[in-house]
Every structure is written in C-alpha cells, then in structure tokens.
Amino acid sequence: MAKQVPVYLFTGFLESGKTKFAQQTLEDASFNNGDRILLLVCEEGVEEYDPSAFAAPTVFTETIESESDLTTENLAALLKKHRCSYVMVEYNGMWTLDTLYTNMPKEWIVAQEFLFIDARTFLNYNNNMRQLMVDKLQSCELAVLNRFPEGDEDLKMQAHKIIRAINRRCDIAFETPDGKISYDDIELPLPYDLNAPVCEIGDADYAIFLQDIMDQPEKYRNKTVSLKGKAVTKSRSLKKGYFYFGRDVMTCCANDIRFIPLAAEAADTEEIKNLAWYKLTARIDIRTLPDVYEGPGPVLHMVSIEPCDVPEQEVATFY
C-alpha cells in the first residue's frame, strides 16, 4: 500500500491572505522541520514567497499555470520529481475544488483545508461569485476573515449566517488589521426540535436537516421525524423494500439544483407512486447501504405516509 501524502490546502480569492499564511507556516520550524515539502502555487498575487525565510530549505515550489494542468499524472510527477513527503497547495480562487479533489493521486489525503477571505470584499464576492464562494466554504475546516473591521457586529452576523448556511462544522475566525483574532461563538440552534416525540421538519428547513443528518448521523439515530418530500421508487440502486425520499436542493445558485434524497424503507412500497409528493413519518436508523452511501448513513424506516401538496417553495435552500 502506498504511503499517504498529507496535503495542506489554502483556498480563497486573490489577495485574501493565502500567501502570507503559507509563508508564515513555512517559517515555523515545528511544521517545516526538514521534511521535503512540495509547494504548489496556483495563483500569483502581489505578495511573493521568501524562501530565504523558510525554517528549512527543503521546500520545492512549482507553479500551476492552468486548471487543466491539475491532472493526476502531473501531480504525481511533481511529487516524484522532488521526492516530497508533504504537499502544500495555494489554490486559485477561480478554480473549483472538485478539479483538485478529482485529480489528486489516490495516496494524497487532505490533512487541513483553510479558507482565507478579505472581509472588505466578502459580501461582494458572495453576491457576485456565489457558486465559487460556496465551493470554497463547503469543505473548509477553518474560515479566516482577515482585515476585519474591529467592532463591526453587523458584518460579523452577516458572515456568520452566510457561512453557517453552507458549513455548520467549520471554525470561523475574524482577524482585524492589527492582528487581533476572535472566533465566531454565535450559537446556531436547529430550526426544529429533535427531542420532540415526532420532530417536525418544516418545509423551509429540509436543506438544513439534510446537511445536519449527513454531518452527524448518530445524533438522529432512533429519532422520529415527519417531513415532506418526493418519493423515487424506480432506481437500479434500490433493493426491494426501499425507496428514495427527498427534495430538489439549490446548493449554491439557480444553476446548481439537484435532487438529494435519503434512503427510506417500508414493509410494502407497492402503493407508493414514483415521483409523487408525500408527508412521511419515519424512525431513523443508521446503517451501511453501499449502493446509497459511502459509509453508514440514515435510513428512514416508514411509520406512516400520506399524499401531500408540493411545498410553496418547491426547491429547498439553505436560507
């Protein structure tokens, strides 16, 4: 089995602070301790690297000029060329992360993913480049809003709502121009009562429910929920007694709408019509279904089901 190669991924738009953070990391002897590090620079901004300040000279920089150069063969060749044990990537904010994730050699494992955001342009980028912003937010484990105006609680709340609508797991840090750092500590309660005998998932809350149950499935084990959705009974991946139940979800913009269901189980699925809308009450179990989920995932064990009207907003959104 090939040895795993940790990848440290820094994302964000131009002049968001990626280079500065990467430079500081490579100046830290506890990280850059003499092991050979491949530094992939996918975007050239105003700030440049200063190799003379690195804690160790074993950093090998390669520039990736085009998104099309992010091929498995090229990445593997660069690692082999420099015989590196680690990879650090300063990623181009205009490229989708899926390009990198899809083409990374199989032994490359993302160890950490940090997103850097210029707080002064955050709302503008979110409004005008929403799809790219969501792309960077949805998988990061830390989002750093630098150049943050000290005391701007309104901007902090706006940033909190935007980020938490996409990623409920990541830490959020606010760094002021003089280097003061604070972390987002705003509580984010779920919009439904998971401890109720039957937890009612409101029509407007499906996307949040879906994200939370996929992120923390064990929290939902043995809970009973009631929600509206569309049934899919005809699929090659379905075994007898199972159907899909879910809704179309707009993950980032009007061009990115897809049906995202959960697996459901019933003693008799004959009366359930394909693509019809239902109100389903179900007890949740967490099981491994290789044809549906990559690992253990939620299964809605049907308690009752009845036809219902389509929600007023048919496509579910995060906010």
pLDDT tens, the chain, 319 aa long: 578 999 999 999 999 999 999 999 999 999 999 999 999 999 988 899 999 999 999 999 999 999 999 999 999 999 999 999 999 999 999 999 999 999 999 999 999 999 999 999 999 999 999 999 999 998 899 999 999 999 999 999 999 999 988 888 899 999 999 999 999 998 778 899 999 999 999 999 999 999 899 989 999 999 999 999 999 999 988 889 999 999 999 876 566 789 999 999 999 999 999 999 999 999 999 999 988 998 899 999 999 999 999 999 999 987 6
Token pair 């039957």 is found at 198
> What pLDDT sits at residue 43?
92
175 shares its domain with 204: no
The reported pLDDT for the residue numbered 254 is: 60
Statement to judge: residues 115 and 156 lie in one domain: yes
Decide: 112 and 86 in contact? Cβ < 8 Å.
no
Residue numbers of the domain that contains 271: 199-307
Same domain for 178 and 212?
no
Question: Which H/E stretch holds residue 98?
Answer: helix 97-103
Residues 31 and 131 in one domain: yes
Q: How many domains does the chain have?
A: 2
234 & 129 share domain = no
Reported pTM: 0.71
- The three-point CA angle 284-288-291 to 5° equals 110
Domain CATH number, residue 229: 2.40.50.140
Domain end position, chosen among 183, 216, 240: 183
Q: Note whether 148 and 45 are same-domain residues.
A: yes
Q: Looking at the structure, do residues 150 and 222 belong to the same domain, yes or no? A: no
DSSP at 63: E
Same-domain check for residues 211 and 153: no
> Which residue do the tokens 């990374």 mark?
104
